Amino acid sequence: MPLIIKGIATAEDAKLAVDHGVDVIYISNHGGRQLDHGLGTIDTLPEIAAAVNGKVPIILDGGITRGTDVVKALALGASAVTIGKLQGWGLGAGGQAGLVKVLELLEEEITIDMALMGVTRIDQITPSYVCKATLVAFAHEMSAFCHIPGGQLR
Q: Which domains does the chain have, with CATH numbers?
A: 4-83 (3.20.20.70)
Q: What is the pLDDT of residue 108?
A: 96
C-alpha to C-alpha distances, 40 to 99, 101, 108, 120, nearest whole angstrom: 25, 27, 25, 29
Q: For every one of its 154 residues, what pLDDT tens digit does the chain have, with 9 covering 90 and above? A: 999 999 999 999 999 999 999 999 999 987 666 666 778 899 999 999 999 999 999 999 988 999 999 999 999 999 999 998 889 999 999 999 999 999 999 999 999 999 999 999 999 999 999 988 877 766 665 655 444 455 443 3
Report residue 10 CA to chain centroid gap.
15
Q: For residue 26, what pLDDT is reported?
A: 97
What does pTM read for this prediction?
Answer: 0.84
- The backbone torsions φ and ψ at residue 149, rounded to the nearest 5 degrees and listed phi first, read -50, 135
Is position 140 annotated as part of the catalytic site?
Answer: no
Residue 134 burial (CB count, 10 A): 5
Backbone angles phi, psi at 120, to 5 degrees: -120, -10
The SS3 assignment for 82 reads coil
> Which residue of the set 20, 30, 140, 147 is catalytic?
30
